[in-house]
Amino acid sequence: MTMISRRIDELKDEIIESTREVLMIKSVEDEPSENAPFGKGVSKALEKALEIAKNLGFNTVNMDGYVGYAEYGEGDDYIGVLGHLDVVPEGDGWIYPPYGAEIHDGKIYARGTLDDKGPMMAALFGLKAIKDSNLPISKKIRIIFGTNEETGSKDMEYYMEHEKAPLAGFTPDAEYPIIYAEKGGTVFDIVKPMVSSENEDFKVNYIKGGHRANMVPDYCEASLSGFSYKNLEAYIKEFNKREGFKVELEDKPKEIIIKTFGVSAHGSVPQFGKNAIMLMIEILAGLELSNSTLKEFVDFSNKYIGHEVYGESFGVGLEDEVSGKLSFNVGIIDYHEDKLTMTLNLRYPVTFKLEDMTEPFNKRLEGTDIKIENFEHQNPLYFPEDHDLIKTLQRVYKEQTGKEPELLAIGGGTYAKEIPNIVAFGPIFPGKPDLDHQANEYIEIEDLILNAKIYGNAIYELAK
């Protein structure tokens, strides 16, 4: 056992109590105020974390409530550990108070135990163990406490405007062993203007479905006028044979409502869901629609998107060995008389560039009057397997756990994307439940302490 790990065992009770102190603060984003850009609760959690760090003997800085850090060592270059103190709302269904930080059966229960308050306290005490052991380091070390990861990461925008990036580091905002590849992400709308006429015999009044771009929609509905209920009912019977889908009809005095039900999944893994919007598109494609501009869009999207989740027919079926296939998710649809908007979430493999996706995508739109609007993009994150940072974290993980440090590639994005030279590293161990954003979130005390040992040793290996 290293000096760092021995010291963490001695600090166990202090680690638990400090973690509980931070967990007892409800740090959900709220109305901004002076030096509290994300609300008083978030600000209070930041102040508490910095107070704990100061009492442990570290220099601390509060950057106007946007972000704070605890610092140890000398020099301009630094190793960074980045995590966040803001949490998502607690929701319902808790068996223990979500901000009670109560201990039951060796587990601390509270919102933020895994995401990220618990592991950030583990990292802080890992640094304390380095300090107490008087181990020589050649670089400065910062534990960076973010405050806005859950609702926009404006904290890291502010940080990077005022500070330079770390030489290397990690974020305890995901799972073990190491996430070395995160796909590039885009969210955008495709928009088609609609031309309606007074004499529409078979009219679609509206289509609406989905809530978020990064979720496979499990519900969509459309309002139709002028159609025979009996004929629609016979037509829909075929669709109700589809596995994982269900279609309902509601007959109203002046309209018929079609309701499609699918299976929700995260937008990074649309293959695990059933897209209710695209089922609706398929249903509408088989109907006689009076509005020619709507018919054009329905036929186009049914042909080139359909139920595909990898973008092959659209011409964007990119794939690499590191991170697999591009994912293509239709998250939201909104159609009323003047325009139709469909919100897409495409995530492309890490060894490709954005234009490798956008050029064929735009080519497919040629000849239509469909436009792209509200385009958002996040670059992929990728560290080669032989990168020093990856090798160091792998070695420490194996030494501390005895398990093989397999590398993970994901379609989602972690906090690691917010500043350069960072990878996601823990805190969830293989085989343990991912309770982030769930009711009854907890961290096992044994895992909290093991995280502190892993993070302390990793920080030292990077900074020595």
* Active site residue ranges: 86, 149
- Count CB neighbours of 395 within 10 A: 14
Report the alpha-carbon distance of residue 25 to residue 37 in Å, rounded: 17
Query: Are the beta carbons of 148 and 28 closer than 8 angstroms?
Result: no
Q: Which residues contact residue 141 at a Cβ distance below 8 angstroms, ignoring those fewer than 6 apart?
A: 71, 72, 73, 78, 79, 80, 81, 127, 130, 459, 463
Report the alpha-carbon distance of residue 293 to residue 296 in Å, rounded: 5
Report the alpha-carbon distance of residue 102 to residue 106 in Å, rounded: 10
Report the alpha-carbon distance of residue 381 to residue 383 in Å, rounded: 7
- Count CB neighbours of 335 within 10 A: 24
Q: Can you spell out the DSSP letters for 339-396?
A: EEEEEEEEEE-TTS-HHHHHHHHHHHHTTS--EEEEEEEE--EE--TT-HHHHHHHHH
Q: Which residues contact residue 253 at a Cβ distance below 8 angstroms, ignoring those fewer than 6 apart?
A: none
State yes or no: cis peptide before 177, omega within 30 of 0. yes
- Six-digit token string for 341: 């908007």
List the beta bridge partners of residue 188: 344
Query: Are the beta carbons of 382 and 388 closer than 8 angstroms?
Result: no
Amino acid, res. 219: Y
C-alpha dihedral, 282 to 286 to 291 to 292, nearest 10°: 90
Query: Are the beta carbons of 269 and 219 closer than 8 angstroms?
Result: no
Q: What is the DSSP letter of 411?
A: S
Per-residue buried b or exposed e for 171-207, using 16+ beta carbons within 10 Å of the residue's own CB: bbbbbbbbbbbbbbbbbbbbbbebebeeebeebbbbb
Report the alpha-carbon distance of residue 48 to residue 17 in Å, rounded: 12
Query: Are the beta carbons of 215 and 262 closer than 8 angstroms?
Result: no
